[in-house]
Amino acid sequence: MILYQPKNGYCYNSDTMFLYDFISKFNIKGDVLEVGGGCGVLGLLIKRDFPKINLTIIEKQKVMYDFTLKNSKENNLEAEVINADFLEYKFDKKFNFIISNPPFYKGTLKSENEIKKIARYEEYLPMEEFFNKVNSLLVENGEFIFCYDAKRIDDIIKTLPKPLKITDMRFMYPRVNKNASLVMIRAKRHAKSMVKIHPPLIGLEGEEYSKEASEIYKKANTKSIKQ
């Protein structure tokens, strides 16, 4: 998949690739919304692998919205792309799945680049408002699949509104001897099953990607072009 990205803006990274792999393990179908699409990589990869879905991508930054449109056309993947603030936009339907790699950094030194700031920092999409809006847009048994800073797991559990219930969780560790840096979560409305904690995902082994991480990048098969 060819993906155009801004030279000086936020570019997708391993978090997005790992989340893509996590999402693709489930039976994705029906109406799917990606929140904060960036250049569209996550949603378009899911559309490529699950071609029957109806994909909607919402992105508040005009420059990234334009890249999403370009990437959708370049890869011949149909998607409705909306240039608007997720928290303010009035949707005319509900969704079976909502997926997102949201901005989740908090209390750290901020980039001077406006595009990067909006893509990275939670103040631009506060957790509680984000989760509540997602909950309101899911169909009765809809699913919410997303990633977040692993250190915020307690906040995530406390903040997810009922009837959303976590069904699957996987932690990503940069290296074997490091603390988890990312958590990937699947939550479902009115779920009754217990939580499945998936095996850990290790990012690097020495100076190279781990075998699993390498396989994820190979499966994604993306080529980035910066403009």
Residues 15/74/70/149 CA torsion (nearest 10 deg): -10
Whether the Cβ atoms of residue 86 and residue 35 lie closer than 8 Å to each other:
yes
Between CA 122 and CA 106 the distance in angstroms is 6
The amino acid that residue 90 corresponds to is K
Q: Return d(Cα 2, Cα 181) in angstroms, integer.
A: 28
Q: Which of 4, 8, 223, 38 is nearest to 120 (CA)?
A: 38
pLDDT at position 14, please?
92
Tens of pLDDT, residue by residue over 93-106, are 999 999 999 985 56
Backbone phi, then psi, for 55, in 5-degree steps? Answer: -100, 130
Q: Which helix (H) or strand (E) holds 75?
A: none
Cα 46 to Cα 158: distance, rounded to the nearest angstrom: 29
Chunked into runs of 10 residues, the chain (227 residues) has average pLDDT values of 85 90 98 95 98 97 95 98 97 98 65 52 78 98 97 96 97 96 97 96 95 97 91
pTM: 0.92
